[in-house]
Chains A and B, each alone.
Chain A
């Protein structure tokens, strides 16, 4: 069933496991946050033991890493708190070491975690291909979401990746102390987030503290939202993050989906009409 709705998850519920899949050096433990049982893709918290060393190599899956504690030495570069990596499938990273250990968020997007030792990229990958590495602390400033409609003021983001084809996002977000937003929302895309620090509240799910996580499939209602003392989190979507704001918390995902289609008819009438006419079948959302 791919990934179910996981919300809310407290990281401490999940035991640490050794990452002992083929190819990986010893020295990584992880806690699964969510798992796709069709593909093996996984979102996890991982810790690298002090002295861990991984030779140059690549994964068969695209992957993302967020450094939360300690630092990774990637080649000659020291990557500490707030560093973000997006590594396309088959793109080789230089040697990774964690002299003092590190704790990270780790996402394998396409398949189970894999590691192939190699100085070069996988066959078929352009030699010019590079990972995206962002120092979110030094290189990015907090900004409004610039979504329309947008969250209440006081929810700020640092967007570290935007996929130009799918509009998928990876981003840090923070809610300032006293943040409050009185609406129910749903999206046309999956949304997941991990609380690096602090506690927020969502009416349906209660309080999400440090180490809290959710993986929310499309069209699931959530909100209102609040954050009493401030929080820092990392989130991702797999498509455009459009806020369908409303005030009906009782609607099912199917009802929300139908309403989203009705809204699209109003917001993008030409596209909706064109898509409807080209289809041989009656549109049944």
Chain B
């Protein structure tokens, strides 16, 4: 096999392997959703009480009316 053909073959092997890894990541992140939902509620609670980090150790509290509503769509974390 000449060098160019070998490189093309290698790229195709890597592309396929990465597509499989990507699907595994997506599945793992979907499985994490219940825990993530709890973590986000805890995050919203902390930034209203302990504060939101805006710069190197500086925090300010976020009023409840500024806490974002969850959009009416699945919360996608892998893009």
Interface of A with B (CB < 8 Å)? 4-9, 13-14, 21-23, 32, 34-35, 37, 40, 42, 112, 144, 148-153, 181-183, 203-206, 217, 220-221, 224, 245, 247-250, 252-253
Interface size bracket, B side: 35 or more
Identify the B interface with A (CB < 8 A). Answer: 3, 6-7, 10-11, 14-15, 17-18, 21-22, 24-25, 28-29, 32, 35-36, 39-40, 43-44, 46-47, 50-57, 59, 62, 66-68, 70-71, 75-79
Contact status of A204 and B7, CB under 8 A, knowing A6-B21, A247-B52, A249-B43 = no
CA distance A132 to B51 in the complex (A): 42
Choose among B17, B18, B59, B79 the residue that contacts A182 (Cβ–Cβ < 8 A). Answer: B59
Residue contact A149 to B29, C-beta cutoff 8 Å:
no
Decide yes or no: A224 and B79 within 8 Å by CB, A6-B25, A35-B15, A205-B29 being known contacts.
no
Q: Helix, strand, loop or mixed for chain B's interface?
A: helix
The answer to whether B50 touches A34, judged by C-beta atoms less than 8 angstroms apart, is no
Q: How far is the CA of A252 from the CA of B75 in the complex (A)?
A: 9
Contacting pair B43 A148 (CB below 8 A)? no
Which residues from chain A contact B10 at a C-beta distance below 8 Å? Answer: 21, 40, 112
Whether B7 pairs with A21 at a CB distance below 8 angstroms is: yes
- Is the pair A250, B71 in contact by a Cβ cutoff of 8 Å? yes
Cβ distance A110 to chain B, nearest Cβ, rounded Å: 14
**Contacts A35-B17, A40-B10 supplied; 11 other A-B pairs, CB < 8 Å:** A7-B25, A7-B78, A13-B24, A21-B10, A23-B3, A40-B11, A40-B14, A144-B56, A245-B53, A247-B66, A248-B68
